[in-house]
Amino acid sequence: MLRPFDYFHPNDMAETLTLLDQEDETSVLAGGTDLLVKMRRGSIRPPVVVDIKGLEECQGIRWEGDRLSLGSLTTFNDLLRSQEAHKHFPLLIDAARVMGCYEVRERATLGGNVVNASPGAESGSPLAVLEAQVVLKGRRGERQMSIGHFWQGVGKTDLAPGELLVRIVIPRLPEGSRSTYLRRSRVQGMDLASVNVAVVVINPRLPESREIRVALGAVAPTPIRAREVETLLRGQEITSSLLSQMRDKIQEGLAPRTTSLRATPGYKKEMVGVLTEMALEVLLKG
């Protein structure tokens, strides 16, 4: 059952930041698909809830120079409707397509997904591999950091008390780059990912200058880049022997938690290699 709480719905950034600064235990409400579940369950009981859906600054998808800027209130269905996402970052579309169901996607925001900081969240590995930055705002000013630094652990971020995630910015990829996102879940229907991978290939047709980026979700407390695999694959002709080395290397140092309800550590470690190989096959064949 929901405990009573004070509800505010400001339309102004300054007023929002003042409200967030006043109370220690204030919760920001975006789509509410995580927050309200936790409040109903009683795992959090904020006395004050600030609904940010009226904030213009947190909305919209637009280019700012060479970076696509996505308001934190962008929903997963907004992503699916975005021509820019389809054209430049198809892995975000792959991720949005498998996220929840239509009704959840209509409410659930990218910002909420990022701040909720679940290791297997749909936006996790895609934003890590795209080297996204987060723009945070508080009464003491604005700051920006890489998404990799923002996530600090399961459900933990660098968001300071009173701060708001305003936008997520993604640098434009070089012309001709390709990207995809693949995940495994326990059932075909609505289920969180047991494991996921996001792959970007820059210069897919020119092996000598080709760069391959790989990020993994649900195998560590936060989404992670597979840097050693990236080094192994850089500028190489993709052969079956290289792919076999890649599958071994990708498992090195991975220690998925043993308490996951969705998959065993062994399955996750094996599957990130399989999914990465599948992604490379799709991307390199075009």
Ligand X SMILES: Cc1cc2nc3c(=O)[nH]c(=O)nc-3n(C[C@H](O)[C@H](O)[C@H](O)COP(=O)(O)OP(=O)(O)OC[C@H]3O[C@@H](n4cnc5c(N)ncnc54)[C@H](O)[C@@H]3O)c2cc1C
Is 162 or 204 the residue whose CB approaches ligand X more closely? Answer: 162
Dihedrals φ, ψ of 45, to 5°? Answer: -135, 65
Q: Which amino acid is at 277?
A: E
Shortest Å, Cβ 95 to ligand X: 8
Binding site residues, ligand X, CB under 6 A: 27-35, 37, 52, 58, 72, 99-100, 104, 107-109, 111-113, 115-116, 121-122, 159, 164-165, 190, 192
Shortest Å, Cβ 65 to ligand X: 23
Q: Which residue is nearest to ligand X (CB)?
A: 112
Shortest Å, Cβ 113 to ligand X: 3
Shortest Å, Cβ 177 to ligand X: 24
Is the CB of residue 147 less than 8 Å from the CB of residue 121? no
Shortest Å, Cβ 101 to ligand X: 7
Is the CB of residue 62 less than 8 Å from the CB of residue 83? no
Is 217 or 273 the residue whose CB approaches ligand X more closely? Answer: 217
Shortest Å, Cβ 90 to ligand X: 18
Three-state helix/strand/coil letters over 62-87? EEECCEEEEECCCEHHHHHHCHHHHH
What is the full DSSP assignment across 29-62? ESS-TTHHHHHHHTS---SEEEE-TT-GGG--EE
Please tell me the number of Cα atoms within 13 Å of 144 on its side-chain side: 9
Is 45 or 227 the residue whose CB approaches ligand X more closely? Answer: 45
Is 198 or 233 the residue whose CB approaches ligand X more closely? Answer: 198
C-alpha span between 192 and 222 (Å, rounded): 15
Is 136 or 229 the residue whose CB approaches ligand X more closely? Answer: 136
Contacts of 112 (CB under 8 A, 6+ apart): 30, 31, 33, 34, 35, 72
Is 31 or 273 the residue whose CB approaches ligand X more closely? Answer: 31
C-alpha span between 256 and 93 (Å, rounded): 26
Is 100 or 265 the residue whose CB approaches ligand X more closely? Answer: 100
Find the helix packing angle between 240-251 and 265-285, rounded to 10°.
140
Shortest Å, Cβ 231 to ligand X: 29
CB atoms within 10 A of CB 51: 16
